[in-house]
């Protein structure tokens, strides 16, 4: 049994009157790709925010590599090996693509020259090397999503949280991103991925966790989850890609 | 010494009332337009001077001109807002910051204008009420309440009530509240953000100018007076929690009390210092304001 | 900063350096010394303002802190100038830490007015304390040597420029600072601690101002709350940086020279209309925001050099034009 990298136990999050997450529990094991799906507003991004330190849960615990990280700040988690992308991409718009990734590389390579070299390597891996000196704001959507991944990778994380990195891309771009994700996994990464596009999640995840209205309503291999009546009902009215 | 306590409290509350009016418009402008109006003190100054000149020219009571001053500056604010908007929506990445720099420049320009036109002299506005005081004596309790300050307090209550009524009971107020919560969504529901913002800023400037007249009746006015009031407005709003209107009265009263206590019991020159230290401590402990409800 | 710019700045430095050899006129030397001082003030303001995105409207307070510290140490404690000057910088730096910790946690907007209020509080302090001489100010022992002060100012500003260039454009610190400016939230996910970086930036901005204040005190031999703790130091620093171009080193440099030149000419011919100057300053700042968001530098160097010092464009939501797939 592979070790548990991420453990979410009984996590709830309340925003005033709204219960965004309700007693959610699941695990992610080493080198797994776990998909996190659910209709709009199900709480997926909130869960990401809790796991990555942007949001303190109202109840519950988050354990990373055996250590309790509940409520720790994002920079602490980054240092510990958690990397994430943002659904609404957050490039450093006024800086170049290379500078963007270099900043991330600084975490493990404090000297700027070394960090820059590392960043170039990451840009090669993610296919952005040809655009290294363009301003980040000048990239296409696909480029910017790719940049998000590159920045997270530059942190040399052991757990990668991908938030909607495929949504909005055309099929060719999407396929190339999927390729990249699988390559990353093949190098030993543990991945938790949120995605709206069903075929992506179902094809690359080993397991899928389904949220609805903040609660976990199903968990298991993709084929099982796809046949689960509660899941189907939750998605009635949603267009399943 | 202790017998001065009730006087100190009363003075503090009365002054606090005035701070409420200044701070409300300021907080409203921030909530709706997300700009911090560095020039708020200057609007007060301009309003005070307009009131002054109007009384000089007509010999009428200063308070009579309150509506006039309000309307004039409502127009000024309404007209200026689009320029502010233009400054904010430039290419640069940070609209709030750019708005700040802009209103900072505006403040400098207005103050310079004030100094040029009005000179360095201090003035006082006069009203029939200025000289009168109400004396209360009851079983060892001595209170002197200048009627003009009481008037200022009543004025503050009226403004608060009016703003409350506008915000909660009119369509316009609904639009304002919607806009301050979620600009995009409000736009999608057909609310004309530009026009509403113009009105809000106009109201803010108009009310501030009116308060200037009142202040002129109680204290002296000068072209340089703006700075302190901007800081006071800021103090009140930060204390209350930025954008949290309900906290403004409490914070304003607190500030007024601190000020009057220093005036009566301590050394007045240390007042601003003390106020600042209090603000500093509060920011250190609770960055979202006393009520932890700031943005 | 491109090669051409570096050459230009070096040339400017050289021009300044040979000035005393070319002109014996002490007036010219005095003007040049003051110009250098403003360059230093504008650039140091920009460290926090343009590079980090936090507008310090109390920059003058650090200048005053340095001035008063130097004056007090020299006059009341008998310290030599060479010891008092760094102490002035130190006090200013410490002041930044003390002021920064509660205020930098907030969003940039509150920080701006908080610093403004803070500077007025410092001015108030100087007015009431005995050790500062209150409203009458302090006199320092006269040391009439224009060449000395000119070269001192030149050396300090040159060292400042080079140091900042290295720290902000060449080292990892500069990248971190810019990341904070662009997106604090996103920067946290990359392991950056915003408050720490902001405080460091604040100290980096305040200390030079304090040192320049100390030099000013000894040079002019008289300081009082109005001259070194008033609004004018801050106001001018801000105008110079904004007008020149935020987020660059050359911007405030050019802005300082232009605005100072304008001020000198203005004062020479329109000394009766001093208050007019305030209006002009205000209009310049407000106008810069609307018409010159990248400052003069942005106008001149409009050949889009991509990211170097250029202002951030708002990311477009739709891909513009052709794309490279992936």
Q: Which of B273, B163, B290 is nearest to B239 (CA)?
A: B290
Cβ-Cβ pairs closer than 8 A, A with C, add up to 131
How far is residue C196's CA from residue C100's CA, in Å, rounded to a whole number? 10
First to last CA, chain B: 41
In the numeric block, which tokens belong to residue B217? 């009746």
Q: Which of A66, A43, A20 is nearest to A209 (CA)?
A: A43
How far is residue C173's CA from residue C200's CA, in Å, rounded to a whole number? 9
Instruction: Give pLDDT tens digits for B193-205.
Output: 788 889 999 999 9
Task: Give the CA distances from residue C280 to residues C55, C256, C261, C275, in Å, rounded to whole numbers and listed in that order.
Answer: 20, 15, 14, 9
With beta carbons under 8 A apart, name residues in chain C contacting B107. Answer: 282
Q: How confident is the model at residue B121 (pLDDT cuts 50, 70, 90)?
A: confident
Q: What is the DSSP letter of C249?
A: S
With beta carbons under 8 A apart, name residues in chain C contacting B97. Answer: 53, 55, 108-109, 112
* Largest pairwise CA distance in chain C: 71
On whether any CB of chain C is under 8 Å from the CB of B24, the answer is: no
Burial label, C221 (beta-carbon count in 10 A; 0-12, 13-18, 19+) = middle
Residue B263 has pLDDT above 90, yes or no: no
Q: Which helix (H) or strand (E) holds B141?
A: strand B141-146
| Binary contact (C275, B238; C-beta < 8 A) | no
The closest CB to that of A75, out of C191, C319, C323, belongs to C191
Pairing outcome for strands A159-163 and A190-194: parallel
With beta carbons under 8 A apart, name residues in chain C contacting B26. Answer: none
**What is the per-residue pLDDT for C10?**
87
The CATH homologous superfamily of the domain defined by A4-91+158-235: P-loop containing nucleotide triphosphate hydrolases (3.40.50.300)
What is the average pLDDT value for chain B, to the nearest integer?
82
Q: What's the pTM value of the predicted model, to 2 decimals?
A: 0.87
With beta carbons under 8 A apart, name residues in chain B contacting C106. Answer: 283, 287
With beta carbons under 8 A apart, name residues in chain C contacting A134. Answer: 306
Most confidently modeled of A219-223, B214-218, C104-108?
A: A219-223
| Binary contact (B87, C118; C-beta < 8 A) | no
- Looking at per-residue confidence, does B54 or A235 come out higher? B54
In the numeric block, which tokens belong to residue B3? 């017998």
**What is the per-residue pLDDT for B129?**
62
**What is the per-residue pLDDT for C9?**
87
On whether any CB of chain C is under 8 Å from the CB of A235, the answer is: no
How far is residue C324's CA from residue C309's CA, in Å, rounded to a whole number? 26
Helices (H) and strands (E) in chain B, counts: 11, 2
| Binary contact (B92, C312; C-beta < 8 A) | yes
Contact between B43 and B29 under an 8 Å Cβ cutoff? The reply is no
Q: Which of B96, B81, B54, B103 is nearest to B233 (CA)?
A: B103
Residue B172 has pLDDT above 60, yes or no: yes
CB atoms within 10 A of CB A72: 18
Contact between B240 and B250 under an 8 Å Cβ cutoff? The reply is yes
On whether any CB of chain C is under 8 Å from the CB of B102, the answer is: yes
Least Cα separation, residue B268 to chain C (angstroms): 11
With beta carbons under 8 A apart, name residues in chain B contacting C283. Answer: 105, 109
How far is residue C311's CA from residue C248's CA, in Å, rounded to a whole number? 10
Q: Which of C240, C283, C56 is nearest to B87 (CA)?
A: C283
How far is residue A119's CA from residue C83's CA, in Å, rounded to a whole number? 44
**What is the per-residue pLDDT for B131?**
62
Residue B269 has pLDDT above 80, yes or no: no
Strand order in the sheet with A159-163: A82-84, A159-163, A190-194, A33-37, A207-212, A215-220
Q: Is B133 helix (H, G, I), strand (E, B) or coil?
A: strand
How far is residue B152's CA from residue B59's CA, in Å, rounded to a whole number? 21
Average pLDDT over residues B89-101: 73
First to last CA, chain C: 31
Average pLDDT over residues B226-232: 86
**What is the per-residue pLDDT for B110?**
93
Q: Which helix (H) or strand (E) holds C100?
A: helix C81-103
- Looking at per-residue confidence, does C325 or A46 come out higher? A46
Q: Which residue, among C113, C128, C226, would best test binding to B if mutated, counting the most B CBs under 10 Å from its CB?
A: C113
On whether any CB of chain C is under 8 Å from the CB of A127, the answer is: yes
With beta carbons under 8 A apart, name residues in chain A contacting C323. Answer: 140, 142-143
Q: Where are the domains of chain C?
A: 23-229
Residue with tokens 């009057």: B260
How far is residue C250's CA from residue B162's CA, in Å, rounded to a whole number? 51
How far is residue B179's CA from residue B160's CA, in Å, rounded to a whole number? 20
**What is the per-residue pLDDT for B289?**
63
How far is residue C160's CA from residue C181's CA, in Å, rounded to a whole number? 22
- All residue ranges of chain A with pLDDT < 50 are 241
How far is residue C156's CA from residue B199's CA, in Å, rounded to a whole number? 50
| Binary contact (C290, B280; C-beta < 8 A) | no
On whether any CB of chain C is under 8 Å from the CB of B108, the answer is: yes
**What is the per-residue pLDDT for A239?**
52
Cβ-Cβ pairs closer than 8 A, B with C, add up to 145
How far is residue C280's CA from residue B120's CA, in Å, rounded to a whole number? 18
| Binary contact (C128, B92; C-beta < 8 A) | no
- Looking at per-residue confidence, does B149 or A54 come out higher? A54
Nearest CA in chain A to C189: A74
Pairing outcome for strands A59-64 and A4-15: antiparallel
Tally of structural domains, chain B: 1
On whether any CB of chain C is under 8 Å from the CB of A155, the answer is: yes
Average pLDDT over residues B140-168: 84
Pairing outcome for strands A33-37 and A190-194: parallel
Contact between B14 and B152 under an 8 Å Cβ cutoff? The reply is yes
DSSP string of C265-321, one letter each residue? HHHHH-GGGHHHHHHHHHHHHHHHHHH-TTHHHHHHT-S--TTSSPPPPPPPSS--S
Q: Which helix (H) or strand (E) holds B143?
A: strand B141-146
| Binary contact (A177, C187; C-beta < 8 A) | no
Q: What subunits make at least 3 CB pairs under 8 angstroms with B?
A: C
**What is the per-residue pLDDT for C322?**
32
Q: What is the DSSP letter of B123?
A: B
How far is residue C312's CA from residue C248's CA, in Å, rounded to a whole number? 13
* Largest pairwise CA distance in chain B: 67
Instruction: Give pLDDT tens digits for A180-217.
Output: 999 999 999 999 999 887 788 888 999 999 998 889 99
Residue B124 belongs to a domain = yes
Beta-carbon contacts of residue C106 (< 8 Å; ≥ 6 apart): B283, B287, C114
**What is the per-residue pLDDT for B70?**
94
Q: Which helix (H) or strand (E) holds B137?
A: strand B133-138
For chain A, give the secondary structure using H, E and C: CCCEEEEEEEEEEEECCEEEEEEEEEEEECCCEEEEECCCCCCHHHHHHHHCCCCCCCEEEEEECCEECCCCCHHHHHHHCEEECCCCCCCCCCCEHHHHHHHHHCCCCCCHHHHHHHHHHHHHHCCCHHHCCCEHHHCCHHHHHHHHHHHHHHCCCCEEEEECCCCCCCHHHHHHHHHHHHHHHHCCCEEEEECCCHHHHHHHCCEEEEEECCEEEEEECHHHHHHCHHHHHHHCCCCCC
Q: Is C222 helix (H, G, I), strand (E, B) or coil?
A: strand
With beta carbons under 8 A apart, name residues in chain A contacting C307. Answer: 94-96, 99, 133, 135-136
Q: How confident is the model at residue C113 (pLDDT cuts 50, 70, 90)?
A: confident
Q: Is B135 helix (H, G, I), strand (E, B) or coil?
A: strand
**What is the per-residue pLDDT for A178?**
92
In the numeric block, which tokens belong to residue A134? 């363009």
Q: Is C181 helix (H, G, I), strand (E, B) or coil?
A: helix
Burial state string for B146-161 with b = 16 or more CB within 10 A and e = fewer than 16: bebbbbbbebbeebbe
ipTM for this prediction: 0.90
Contact between B178 and B45 under an 8 Å Cβ cutoff? The reply is no
């Amino acid at each position: 049994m592979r070790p548990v990298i991420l453990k979410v136990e009984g996590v709830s999050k309340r925003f005033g009157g709204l219960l965004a997450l309700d007693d959610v529990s699941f695990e992610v094991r080493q080198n797994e790709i776990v998909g996190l799906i659910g209709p709009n507003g199900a709480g997926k991004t909130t869960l990401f925010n809790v796991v990555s330190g942007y949001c303190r849960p109202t109840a519950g615990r988050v354990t990373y590599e055996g250590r309790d990280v509940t409520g720790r700040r994002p920079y602490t988690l980054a240092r510990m090996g958690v990397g994430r992308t943002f659904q609404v991409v957050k490039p450093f718009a006024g800086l170049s693509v290379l500078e963007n990734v270099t900043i991330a590389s600084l975490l493990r390579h404090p000297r700027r020259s070394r960090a820059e070299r590392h960043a170039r390597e990451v840009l090669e891996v993610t296919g952005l090397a040809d655009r290294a000196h363009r301003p980040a704001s000048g990239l296409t959507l696909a480029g910017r999503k790719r940049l998000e991944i590159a920045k997270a990778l530059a942190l040399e994380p052991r757990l990668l949280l991908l938030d909607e990195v495929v949504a909005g891309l055309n099929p060719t771009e999407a396929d190339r991103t999927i390729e990249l994700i699988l390559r990353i996994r093949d190098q030993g990464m543990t991945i938790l991925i949120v995605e709206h596009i069903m075929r992506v999640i179902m094809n690359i995840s080993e397991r899928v966790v389904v949220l609805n209205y903040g609660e976990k309503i199903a968990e298991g291999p993709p084929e099982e989850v796809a046949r689960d009546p509660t899941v189907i009902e939750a998605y009635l009215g949603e267009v399943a890609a | 010494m202790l017998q001065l306590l009730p006087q100190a409290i009363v003075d503090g509350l009365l002054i606090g009332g005035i701070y409420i009016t200044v701070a409300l418009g300021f907080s409203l402008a921030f909530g709706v337009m997300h700009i911090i109006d560095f020039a708020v003190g200057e609007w007060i100054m301009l309003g005070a001077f307009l009131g002054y000149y109007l009384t000089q020219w007509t010999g009428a009571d200063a308070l009579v001109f309150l509506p006039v001053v309000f309307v004039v500056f409502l127009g000024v604010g309404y007209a200026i807002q689009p320029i502010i908007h233009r400054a904010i929506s430039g290419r640069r990445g940070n609209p709030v910051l750019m708005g700040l720099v802009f209103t900072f420049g505006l403040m400098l320009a207005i103050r310079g204008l004030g100094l040029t036109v009005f000179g360095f002299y201090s003035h006082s506005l006069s009203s029939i009420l200025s000289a009168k005081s109400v004396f209360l004596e009851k079983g060892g309790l001595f209170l002197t309440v200048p009627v003009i300050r009481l008037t200022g307090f009543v004025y503050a209550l009226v403004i608060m009530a009016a703003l409350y009524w506008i915000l909660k009971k009119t369509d316009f107020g609904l639009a304002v509240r919607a806009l301050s919560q979620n600009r995009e969504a409000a736009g999608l529901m057909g609310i004309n953000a530009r026009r509403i913002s113009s009105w809000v800023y106009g109201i803010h400037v108009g009310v501030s100018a009116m308060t200037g007249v009142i202040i002129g009746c109680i204290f002296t006015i000068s072209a340089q007076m703006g700075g302190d009031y901007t800081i006071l407005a800021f103090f009140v709003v930060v204390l209350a929690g930025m954008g949290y209107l309900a906290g403004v009265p409490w914070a304003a009263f607190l500030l007024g009390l601190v000020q009057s206590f220093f005036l009566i019991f301590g050394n007045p020159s240390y007042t601003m210092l003390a106020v600042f230290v209090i603000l500093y401590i509060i920011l250190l402990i609770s960055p979202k304001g006393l009520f932890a409800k700031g943005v | 900063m491109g090669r051409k710019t570096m050459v230009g700045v070096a040339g400017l430095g050289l021009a300044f350096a040979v000035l005393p050899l070319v002109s014996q006129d002490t007036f010219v030397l005095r003007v040049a010394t003051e110009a250098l001082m403003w360059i230093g003030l504008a650039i140091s303001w920009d460290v926090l303002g343009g590079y980090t995105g936090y507008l310090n409207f109390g920059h003058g307070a650090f200048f005053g802190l340095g001035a008063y510290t130097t004056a007090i140490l020299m006059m009341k404690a008998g310290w030599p100038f060479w010891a008092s000057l760094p102490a002035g910088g130190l006090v200013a730096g410490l002041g930044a830490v003390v002021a920064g910790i509660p205020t930098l946690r907030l969003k940039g907007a509150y920080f701006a007015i908080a610093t403004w209020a803070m500077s007025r509080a410092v001015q108030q302090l100087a007015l009431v304390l005995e050790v500062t001489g209150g409203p009458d100010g302090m006199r320092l022992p006269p040391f009439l040597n224009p060449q000395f002060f000119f070269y001192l100012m030149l050396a300090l500003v040159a060292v400042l420029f080079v140091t900042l260039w290295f720290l902000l454009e060449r080292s990892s610190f500069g990248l971190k600072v810019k990341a904070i400016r662009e997106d604090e939230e996103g920067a946290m996910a990359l392991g950056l601690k915003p408050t720490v970086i902001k405080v460091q930036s604040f100290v980096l901005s305040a200390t030079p101002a304090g040192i320049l204040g100390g030099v000013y005190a000894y040079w002019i031999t008289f300081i009082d709350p109005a001259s070194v703790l008033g609004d004018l130091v801050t106001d001018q620093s801000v105008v110079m940086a904004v007008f020149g171009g935020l987020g660059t080193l050359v911007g405030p440099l050019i802005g300082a020279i232009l605005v100072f030149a304008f001020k000198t000419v203005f004062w020479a011919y329109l000394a009766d209309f001093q208050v007019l100057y305030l209006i002009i300053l205000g209009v310049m700042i407000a106008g810069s925001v609307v018409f010159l968001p990248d400052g003069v530098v942005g106008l001149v160097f409009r050949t889009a050099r991509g990211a170097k010092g250029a202002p951030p464009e708002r990311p477009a939501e739709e891909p513009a034009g052709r794309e490279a797939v992936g």
